[in-house]
Structure formats: C-alpha cells, structure tokens
Structure 1
Amino acid sequence: MNRINLISIFSILLIFASFATSTPLKRQDQLTGFKQCQGTFPNSITVLTYTPNPVVLGQNVTVHIAGKATEVIKQGTTLVYTGYFENEPTKQAFQHQVDFCDTFVKPNGSECPVKEGDYSFIGSWLLEKHPNEPQNLVMEFGFNISVFDPNGKILSCLDGPMKVYYP
C-alpha cells in the first residue's frame, strides 16, 4: 500500500473518531423529567420511572423509585402526589396519597423501617377513573411527588411534568 492511501485511510478514521467523541451520548433520564424540589431533604430520589407513560386512569401505574436515605423510612410514611393545571401550585387539579411501606416496601420483600442507605422499590396501584372526568384526552400536569414521615416531615420531594390519559 502506498503512503498516500495510508494517509487517506488514517485521515478518514480520524474524522470518524472526532465525530464519535464530539457527539454526546444521550443518557436516559433517570427521573423521567422530574427534578429535586427547591430546599433540602434528608432522603434523595435518584430514580423515578413509571409505566405506562402517559399514565392511564382506570389502570394500574407501576412506579420504580430509588435513592439514598439518610433518615429511616418508618411505618406510616406516605407518598403524596399532587397534580397542578398549567404547572401552577395555586391551581391544584388533584391530590392522592399512598402508604409508602404498603405500596413500595412490602411488595419488594422488605419491611419498614427501611434503614439508612440506598433503596430501590417498585410499587403499583390503581389510578381510579371517575365518571365526570374527560374522555379520550391526554392532559399534562405539573406534578409534585413528596414523601412524608408519620409526623408530616418531608423526607423527599420531586417536581416535574406528567401526562395523564383519560380513556
């Protein structure tokens, strides 16, 4: 092979290598568009995913939640999710709560209290559909997801968008 061909091949490889290193890899969003709320909270949530996406009223939603607890998660801890119109906290559309231990911890073979350290749980529950709700419509809400200890102290908090399908 002559020197010109080697230089051409090397140049082409160098160009491809520069594209590969300059194009950032898209990392999967571990919080599905959510972000930590402003303020400081003892337990962080580093993974929040849910299926189906958008969630469908009248069906189960399955949620994977993981993070790091620096404060023990006790029996009686609740996860409260609140939806807002136009992402405005003054325009609350709905609010529901689930028992954190019964919904997330026990179905994963553990018990409360959950000690300090890393945690990862999958929970599922039915999203009730009421007869006076819209039909055949997808709406996006601003969502707040907060975990409260039995005394009402916020352990974790996330804000973000979530789409809801009204069948």
Structure 2
Amino acid sequence: MNNLLLVVLLIFITFASSTPMRRQDTHLKQCEGTFPNEITSYGFKPYPIIVGQLVTNHVTGKVTVPVEEGATVKHSIYYNNQLRLEHTEDFCSFIVIPSGHTCPVTSQNFDYTVNIMAKSTPNDPKNVVLDFFTRTLITNPDGRNLTCIEQYVKYSFP
C-alpha cells in the first residue's frame, strides 16, 4: 500500500475549509493525556475511503493554544497492532495554507475542508476493506504537543 496515501489522509484527520459532512463512526477519540486544542468533529467522503478516488476531508475543532508556523503533524499508522508507518509533515504548509488559511492558527474555532486523491500502488491488496488504527499528533516548534487524536479508518482496495 502506498505509504504517502496513508500519510496524506491522516494529516487531514487531524485538521482539514467548510463543507458540512456527516460524521462517520471511526471511533475518533482524544489520546490519553492533556492537550490544549481539541478536534470536535471529523468526517470524510467516501467512507470507507476508496483507494484510487478523491477523498474530501472535513474537520472542526477548538484552538486554545495557537498553532504556530513551523508546527508539525506526526502520524503513526498501525495494522494488526504493528506500526507500519510513521511520518512527520509541516502542518501549516501541508494543511492550513492549501485550505485557504494562514498560520498561526489563532481563531478559537477552526473548520477546514481538503480534497486529496487516495493514490494506489501495484502492491496494494485487491477486493478487500482493511482497518487501520491511526494516531495523529500536532506539535508546535517549541515542542509543546497541542492535539492528539486516535481512530480506526477503513480503506477499500478495489
């Protein structure tokens, strides 16, 4: 499976401009511990995500501590309880700016929508739907963890 596909989709799980969507039952929850910012809803179409098709991601949340320029988003992706991929991206340049907004993210409430292609590779499985456990962590440049969410996400491989 294309690791970039997982990274891109998980980034948008964390923060993604403003098309209302129905929230899927992806078991979204805040990670254990204390984090000042909160994801209040997340949804995407289609669900399950169909590899090889466009995915529209929508996320809303509350910001108590500003997300600064240079913040990172780290994704840890598990399949069958084994870490399969860990990847870090610049949050502002990858999520906020393409969504038509700017950093720092200081507004108390945010609402982002991002479209991304769920790319496939020749090594992807065929005719199966798989569940992945994902953990996404947003960290400011000073090392302060701002947001952490976990959820299960289904991917359909046609």
Superposed displacement of residue 70, structure 1: 1.1
Superposed displacement of residue 138, structure 1: 0.7
2:52 to 48, 51, 58: 58
Distance in 2, Cα, partners of 1:116 & 1:59: 32
Distance in 2, Cα, partners of 1:66 & 1:35: 14
Distance in 1, Cα, partners of 2:141 & 2:44: 25
1:77 maps to which residue? 71
Superposed displacement of residue 67, structure 1: 0.9
CA contact (8 A) 2:72 2:140 kept: yes
Aligned-partner residue type, residue 45 of structure 1: I
Unpaired segments ≥5 residues, structure 1: 1-27
2:149 maps to which residue? 158
Per the normalisation by structure 1, the TM-score is 0.69
1:122 maps to which residue? 113
1:40 maps to which residue? 34
Aligned length, in residue pairs: 137
2:103 maps to which residue? 112
Distance in 2, Cα, partners of 1:98 & 1:123: 16
The percent of aligned pairs where both chains have the same amino acid is 34
Aligned-partner residue type, residue 120 of structure 1: D
Distance in 1, Cα, partners of 2:96 & 2:32: 26
Matches within 5 A, 1:20-31: 29=23
2:130 matches 1:136: no
Distance in 2, Cα, partners of 1:63 & 1:96: 19
Which structure's CA Rg is the greater one?
Answer: 1
Pair 1:59–1:74, CA change in 2 (3 A): farther
Q: What CA RMSD, in Å, does the superposition of the two structures yield over aligned residues?
A: 2.4
Greater relative contact order structure (CA < 8 Å, 6+ sep): 2
1:43-69 alpha-carbon deviations (Å, 9 max, x no partner): 111111112211122333222121111
Of 28-37 and 55-64, deviating more is 28-37
Greater helix share, 1 or 2? 1
SS at match of 1:124: strand
Matches within 5 A, 1:81-100: 81-86=75-80, 88=81, 91-100=82-91
